[in-house]
Structure 1
């Protein structure tokens, strides 16, 4: 990561809250299990596993996106992906769902498409694109 001085990751406080919620859900599942509520235990356990998976994802895959003079490094469940500035295409995608706009940053290279949202980056994707565009301009000039 030394060659990538600028990076983005989920905010630390969001990850900590996800871990705390997971622990409360675990305690609730154990409580319900001792009370004999099989359905409640199953639902609470599934919620705990989902929240725990998101917390683990936010903990292990840090930073999610990094950029430097050489290009971009993106970390996903499938591993780290490195793209030079010449091969990476960057764009914003705005989607309207339930009356609300959602903005994502897309990094495309060949057959690979990586999509990052506000939670993944810890910042507004528009601001991240501005920084990436400036870095790309410096690297290619």
Structure 2
């Protein structure tokens, strides 16, 4: 068996864009502080926290998922979680919210559940599940 591995992470352009938007929101918040607009400051602060949290998480937890002959590695704020193929299951889950279907890849190992979507993986979760099937079949 070869030492082949593959990984998935948020698209770099999206992460860079999130950092740029965060910087612009910080500038907007500073302007609101200087003009004394309290309600505008609140809105800018909330938006800065939301977009900034995405930017930080997408930068720190890279790559989000790595698969190789030994199993999977899922990266979170809590560190890297190693999941051997044995005892690990994954499935695609479709949920309907606000009239739209959302597709996620759910990875389960013992008492842990990781839910990864298109933004986390940088690609369609169906493609990732197919690649995981191919890697697992090599085992």
Q: Which residue of 1 aligns with 2:20?
A: 20
For residue 12 of structure 1, report the CA deviation from its aligned partner. 0.3
Offset from partner CA, 1:97-119 (integer Å, 9 cap, x none): 12211100010011111000000
- Runs (4+) off by over 6 Å: none
Cα pair 2:61 2:76 within 8 Å, conserved:
yes
Cα-Cα RMSD: 1.1
What stretches of structure 2 of length at least 5 have no aligned partner? none
Give the whole-Å Cα distance in 1 for the aligned partners of 2:81 and 2:33: 43
CA deviations 1:1-30 (Å, max 9, x no partner) are xx6720000000000110011011000011
Runs of 5+ consecutive residues of structure 1 not aligned to the other structure: none
* Structure 2 equivalent of residue 84 of structure 1: 84
How many residues are treated as equivalent by the alignment? 137
Answer yes or no: is the 8 Å Cα contact 2:60–2:77 preserved in 1: no
CA contact (8 A) 1:4 1:66 kept: no
Normalising by the residue count of structure 1, what TM-score does the alignment of the two structures yield?
0.93
